[in-house]
Amino acid sequence: MPITKLEQMFDVLKSKGKKRLIAAYANDSHTIDAVSHAIDLGIVEGTLVGDKEIIRQVCKDEGVNYEKFHVIHEPDEIKATMRAIKTINDGDGDILMKGLVSTDKYMRCIFNKEDGLMDAGAILTHVTVMENPNYHKLLIISDVAIIPLPDLKQKITIANYLIKTAHALDIKLPKVALLAASEMMSASMPACVDAAILCKMADRGQIKGGILDGPLALDLCIDQESCQIKGIKSPVAGDADCILFPNIEAANTLYKANTKLSGGEQGAIVCGARKPCVLSSRGDSVKTKLYSIALAALMA
């Protein structure tokens, strides 16, 4: 059965083996609380890399048992992140998680050519699974955090990771909407042209595992009534499982509006590295980080 609520991930994961999570520069309460909850749910074993005394104090302040973690002392944020990555590269971790380290430093460490977490030629993309009270199922979107203006090659990669994420949620044939400002084809709009190429690639079997359609404006991605009014007939329109965004501004706006304006929840990971990486905003809630850990565990 497809997972339709984020909390359902926990039940699925309890039937699988625990994943080993390594949190980089885990000096903050949100990261420690999220990893602690994930350990309590039985879905991960947690290693925290950071300043041992700060971590111990945060645990005391939050009422968290310090002994449930394996702690590696490294007070410098760059060195702590590289130590976390080395632990994974040495075969002792399945998931990397961002702690208090800034996003740009976290990403630079992942991209490090000698000691990072990337294979040659790999493309990283950020995938979010959203639960919104106004939509009838989970919605998987990309890219909200890494690729500012994806070109066609990057959109192919994003489409494949959207489909892979949907499969991890047991959505057998995900419906992927290719977002643009309008559903009308326009040669002057790159998002429309790319959408047409991606759809034809899917038709020819060059993108597998999902149904693609576009260009589609946002209302046509998620609202059946809008589709009826505009006379759009499509297996994807009004019922999308995934949305591929043409630029980071549009995607990031929806990401933040989902929680800040709509009372929704979400989990997010980075795909394309050797192991899934949790990359949530430092302003994200403990629950969002917990859902991100669960999503990474499903993908690991």
**pTM for the full predicted model:** 0.94
pLDDT digits (tens, 9 = 90+) for 18-49: 999 999 999 999 999 999 999 999 999 999 99
* Alpha-carbon span 21 to 97, nearest angstrom: 7
For the ranges 144-153, 213-222, 272-281, which has the lowest average pLDDT? 272-281
68-94 residue pLDDT tens: 999 999 999 999 999 999 999 999 999
Q: How confident is the model at residue 282 (pLDDT cuts 50, 70, 90)?
A: low
**Predicted confidence (pLDDT) per residue in 195-221, tens digit:** 999 999 999 999 999 999 999 999 999
User: 177 pairs with which residues across the strands?
Assistant: 213, 243
Q: What is the pLDDT of residue 286?
A: 87
Instruction: Identify the CA nearest to 146 among candidates 293, 256, 268, 248.
Output: 248
The residue among 158, 167, 155 whose CA lies nearest residue 127 is 158
What is the spatial distance between Cα 15 and Cα 20, in angstroms, rounded to a whole number? 16
| Domains annotated on the chain, with CATH | 8-121+273-299 (3.40.50.10950), 125-260 (3.40.718.10)
What is the C-alpha to C-alpha distance for residues 39 and 285, in angstroms, rounded to an integer? 17
Tell me which amino acid residue 139 is.
L
Residue pair 130/162 in contact (Cβ under 8 Å)? The answer is: no
How confident is the model over 128-132, as a mean pLDDT? Answer: 97
